[in-house]
Structure 1
Amino acid sequence: MKKITVILSTYNGEKYLQKQLDSILSQKGAEKDYLLSVLCRDDGSNDQTMDILNQYANSFSNVYIAESSGQNLGVRGSFFSLLREADADFYFFSDQDDIWHSDKIEAFLDAFEKTQSNLPAGVYSDLNLVDGQDKPLGKTMMESNGWSYTEKRDFRLLFFKTRVTGASFAINEAAKDQIMEVDSSKLAKVGMHDSILALLAMAYNNLIFIPKSLVSYRQHGDNVLGAFAKKHSIFAVKVRISRYRTFFNDLALINSIVSEKNMPAENVNSLRAAVAFNNTRGLLRKMRVVLKDKNVLWRNVKLKQILLLVLFY
């Protein structure tokens, strides 16, 4: 049977953690169709979170606490530390305060059957938004951000936009092995663990979207990360350029680890064009690079975004 490890990072999550763990441990098909384990890591909580984790680890033989638990690494560092320690066929990321639908893992495993298992692969779904009392907010994660199920979700879309939410995302062993080639100090600088791994899988056109909600994604005052993207004025140049710098740094990292021979040619060319722009200095040189690669990279990027990058990046 396939081995599934859920990697769960916590920080002051005592309020909702039990519901999160219960929803994972009650997944359909567990121990019958696949072997399920939960690897938990606390990132330095000062509430009762660690007591709850110890209680579950003592009560369930498939719940474990990571060796590095207790040291504060931040969200990215905590999840990458968990990923490095875990050993499975598939890795599911979990927040500390959501509720998984009972058929989530089954649906994801069905989707993984459509991927190339020898290459980095990922699966993600939409999420229902609920409040602190589990009441539906009437929208899904994607509806709240204006993301259509029918939009073309290719490699280039993920260059400068996010679509994958870690709370409803899973990867295969090949994706873990490839991202773990990267030094921890570099991983600490990526945009987020879910976005970089989604990019990696999509580089091979090996990222599957399930067009339905399989998680109740809780929105409350203590969210580390929430459903609603913060909007910035077009005049907030420094903020926008900083965001683009993160995107380009992530693309450069992906470029350093992917196997081009296993990538579609279109994706190879798009990635090379992004790296070339990132390495170009000077207004006229950047304009020439954009014109040269307009069909490879820039044709679906808004003109105001291109102007921002050419003038200020």
Structure 2
Amino acid sequence: MVEIIMAAYDGEKYIKQQIESIMKNTYEDKHLVIYDDTKGEQTSTAMTDILDSMREKYGDKITYRKNTENKGCTRNFLEGLQDSFAEYIMFSDQDDYWNKDKIELTLGKMKELENIYGKDTPLVVFTDATVVDSSLNLIHLSFHQSNHLRTNKLDLAHLLMENKLIGCTMMMNQALKDKIIAIPKNARVHDWWIALVASAFGKIGYLENATILYRQHEDNVIGHQEYGSYIKRRLANLKSQREVIYDNMRQAEEFLEMYHTYLTKQQNMLIRRFATLKDRNWFYRRYAILRYGYKKSGLPRNIGLFLVI
């Protein structure tokens, strides 16, 4: 079975359309669990009516759980993951739209990896996404191309510095889920943390197909950014970008604390060097980026990295 974990928060505007797109996927053996993170008792009547109608329509294919406290996006997804015992697990945002063959295509790629590496190997598959506006009108055919992200650079060193995985396109197997041994405090986002675990202990597969319409609107927590504007904004505020890089290092430090006994000696050294870069001198930081491969995608991003590190 494939279980889909959806994190919801004030989701009445788009959630019905998203649930319908998931339920209409060609793959039948699926179950959707919605974790509603709306604060306290503030879940709207409209949201309640939508969820009631969806559960009435699709029966036990949908489970709804109201969080007793506000957890935030990352914790909501990762704690939902801890509750799952499905063979394969996917994540869903409340506001996207899934292509009807998304599950089938992603599972096909997962099966390819399992045939090569075995089911006991921690595996994750992610895909591209079509970027659309709030009304599902096309913005860009490829999220990864429009953001100039190098999806072939999925080794641990690159992923310590930059995430390429889009959580709402991911599928993982139970072997990878079992490696998520605790909920981190310093994870940048849930998909980045999972990418680090997969890179350290298993394998990551990429499917070039765009399997979702990745909706962009004013309430997105994380989303698509026009590449030129992205570069200009970061160069205009180098101090804030330095703090972002330091957040990456704090994430790496916690990853090392949590997994150091399971990592190889080489992996421990690689992560420790990255986590402690902020404590090293100007020359060493730049040397280490080049020597050990702590790089971003493309020349403009790496020029910016060398300016702020």
TM-score by length of 1: 0.81
Residue from 2, 12, 15 that aligns with 2:13: 15
List per-residue Cα deviations over 1:127-152 (Å, max 9, x = no partner): 01122222222432112212356x54
Query: Which residue of 2 is the match for residue 264 of structure 1?
Result: none
- Structure 1 Cα separation of the partners of residues 48 and 250 of structure 2: 35
Residue from 194, 200, 208 that aligns with 1:211: 208
- The answer to whether the 8 Å contact 1:128/1:214 transfers is yes
**Secondary structure of residue in 1 paired with 2:141:** strand
Root mean square deviation, CA, Å? 2.7
Query: Which residue of 2 is the match for residue 41 of structure 1?
Result: 35
- Structure 2 Cα separation of the partners of residues 175 and 242 of structure 1: 30
- The answer to whether the 8 Å contact 1:91/1:171 transfers is yes
Query: Which residue of 1 is the match for residue 197 of structure 2?
Result: 200
Cα distance, 1:63 vs. partner?
Answer: 0.5
Cα distance, 1:7 vs. partner?
Answer: 0.3
- The answer to whether the 8 Å contact 1:122/1:171 transfers is yes
Query: Which residue of 2 is the match for residue 97 of structure 1?
Result: 95
Query: Which residue of 1 is the match for residue 137 of structure 2?
Result: 135
- The answer to whether the 8 Å contact 2:128/2:209 transfers is yes
- Structure 2 Cα separation of the partners of residues 276 and 170 of structure 1: 30
Identity of aligned residues (%): 22
Query: Cα distance 1:62–1:272, how it changes in 2: closer, same or farther (>3 A)?
Result: same
Query: Which residue of 1 is the match for residue 125 of structure 2?
Result: 123
- Structure 2 Cα separation of the partners of residues 75 and 292 of structure 1: 32
Which stretches in structure 2 are left out of the alignment for 5+ residues? none
- Partner amino acid for 2:254? L
Query: Which residue of 2 is the match for residue 234 of structure 1?
Result: 235
- The answer to whether the 8 Å contact 2:158/2:294 transfers is no
Cα distance, 1:112 vs. partner?
Answer: 1.1
Query: Which residue of 1 is the match for residue 305 of structure 2?
Result: 305
- Structure 2 Cα separation of the partners of residues 15 and 24 of structure 1: 16
- The answer to whether the 8 Å contact 2:274/2:294 transfers is no
**Secondary structure of residue in 2 paired with 1:156:** helix
Query: Cα distance 1:274–1:54, how it changes in 2: closer, same or farther (>3 A)?
Result: same
- The answer to whether the 8 Å contact 2:176/2:202 transfers is no
Query: Cα distance 1:205–1:61, how it changes in 2: closer, same or farther (>3 A)?
Result: closer
Cα distance, 1:217 vs. partner?
Answer: 0.9
TM-score by length of 2: 0.82
Query: Which residue of 1 is the match for residue 291 of structure 2?
Result: 295
Aligned residue pair count: 290
List per-residue Cα deviations over 1:231-277 (Å, max 9, x = no partner): 5333634312221122122223333326335xxxxxx6365234134
- Structure 1 Cα separation of the partners of residues 80 and 305 of structure 2: 36
Query: Which residue of 2 is the match for residue 265 of structure 1?
Result: none
- The answer to whether the 8 Å contact 2:186/2:254 transfers is no
Query: Which residue of 1 is the match for residue 2 of structure 2?
Result: 4
- Structure 1 Cα separation of the partners of residues 288 and 212 of structure 2: 43
